[in-house]
């Protein structure tokens, strides 16, 4: 089982508020990711990091930002939430699996609703 934790699990917040979704992993993985997924739809990579002080934008454009000051911590921030940001946000980390590239592990997700 993966040791990757996300908080809050569920958040309902008003338009214009600033929010930070927390993600921590205790596995010492260098690589971490944020995915966005609407119910019944595909996963979209919005941010990733290969290590401390390394962050990159993913395939799907997002108004969120991330930081990676410590290996175990990869928070995602929305400066001004909008209803269009309503979605599930999944944090993940990966380790190289010998001979099998990267095996990725997911947190339980943060469900964000902006009203």
Partner 1 sequence: RKEVEQDPGPFNVPEGATVAFNCTYSNSASQSFFWYRQDCRKEPKLLMSVYSSGNEDGRFTAQLNRASQYISLLIRDSKLSDSATYLCVVNRAGSYQLTFGKGTKLSVIP
Binding residues for partner 1, rule CB under 8 A, total: 22
My answer on whether omega of the bond before 8 falls inside 30° of 0, hence cis, is: yes
Token code pair at residue 8: 């809050």
Inter-residue contact 16 to 84 (CB < 8 Å):
no
CB of 102 to partner 1, least distance (A): 6
Give the phi and the psi of residue 107 in degrees, each rounded to 5. Answer: -75, 175
How far apart CA 1 and CA 21 sit, in angstroms, is: 22
Q: Which of 21, 78, 81, 90 binds partner 1 (CB under 8 A)?
A: 90
| 109 touches partner 1 by CB under 8 A | yes
Q: Is 98 in the site for partner 1 (CB under 8 A)?
A: no
End-to-end, the C-alpha distance of the chain in Å comes to: 34
Among 8, 11, 65, 108, binds partner 1 (CB under 8 A): 108
Asked whether position 42 contacts partner 1 by CB under 8 A, the answer is yes
Site residues (vs partner 1, CB under 8 A): 31, 39, 41-43, 45, 48, 50, 88, 90, 94, 97, 100-109
């Amino acid at each position: 089982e993966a040791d990757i934790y996300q908080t809050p699990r569920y958040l309902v917040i008003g338009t214009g508020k600033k929010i930070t979704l927390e993600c921590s992993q205790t596995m010492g993985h260098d690589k971490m990711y944020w995915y966005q997924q609407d119910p019944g739809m595909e996963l979209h990579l919005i941010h990733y990091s290969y290590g401390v002080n390394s962050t990159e934008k993913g395939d799907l454009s997002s108004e969120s930002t991330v930081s990676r000051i410590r290996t175990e911590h990869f928070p995602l921030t929305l400066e001004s939430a909008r209803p269009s940001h309503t979605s599930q946000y999944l944090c993940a980390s990966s380790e190289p699996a010998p001979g099998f590239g990267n095996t990725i592990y997911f947190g339980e997700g943060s469900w964000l609703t902006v009203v």
